[in-house]
């Protein structure tokens, strides 16, 4: 049983950064998913896949795994690059391509 510790990504449907400051612990699947022959649904006998734990810091998540004897893997978050963009840049003389409708 291996666990992943990571910061979740920003929701693509929202512009805010809510729920991205906490660290999340998810378990790796132990068994492969199986296709149910009658309806075609995928199912699994692994109940740990449904469990998600959230921690305030990475150190808290690591301490939890070490206290419970769980093997873990820490995935560091990537820093997002924010470019300052202004509406006036659309009409700048230094614009690479001409502005058209």
pLDDT-based confidence at 95, cuts 50/70/90?
confident
DSSP labels, 63-94? HHHHHHT-EEEE-PPPPPP-----GGGGG-TT
Residue 96, domain member (yes or no)? no
Residue 27 lies in a domain: yes
Mean pLDDT within 65-69:
96
For the chain, the domain total comes to: 1
- Which residue segment(s) compose the domain that 7 sits in? 3-91
pLDDT of residue 47: 86
pLDDT value, residue 20:
82
Secondary element (H or E) of residue 2: strand 2-6
37 token code pair? 């022959």
pTM above 0.75, yes or no: no
Closest Cα partner for 20 from 63, 67, 80?
80
CATH number, residue 76: 3.30.160.190
Question: What would the pLDDT profile of 25-59 be if each residue is shown by its tens digit?
Answer: 999 988 888 899 999 998 888 888 889 999 999 99
Q: How confident is the model at residue 88 (pLDDT cuts 50, 70, 90)?
A: confident
């Amino acid at each position: 049983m291996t666990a992943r510790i990571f910061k979740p990504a920003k929701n693509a449907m929202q512009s805010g950064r809510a729920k991205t400051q906490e660290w999340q612990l998810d378990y790796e699947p132990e068994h492969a998913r199986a296709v149910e022959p009658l309806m075609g649904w995928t199912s699994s006998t692994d109940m740990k896949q449904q469990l998600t734990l959230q921690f305030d810091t990475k150190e808290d998540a690591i301490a939890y795994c070490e206290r419970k004897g769980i093997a873990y893997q820490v995935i560091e978050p990537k820093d997002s690059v924010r470019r300052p963009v202004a509406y006036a840049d659309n009409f700048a003389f230094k614009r690479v391509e001409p502005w058209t409708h």
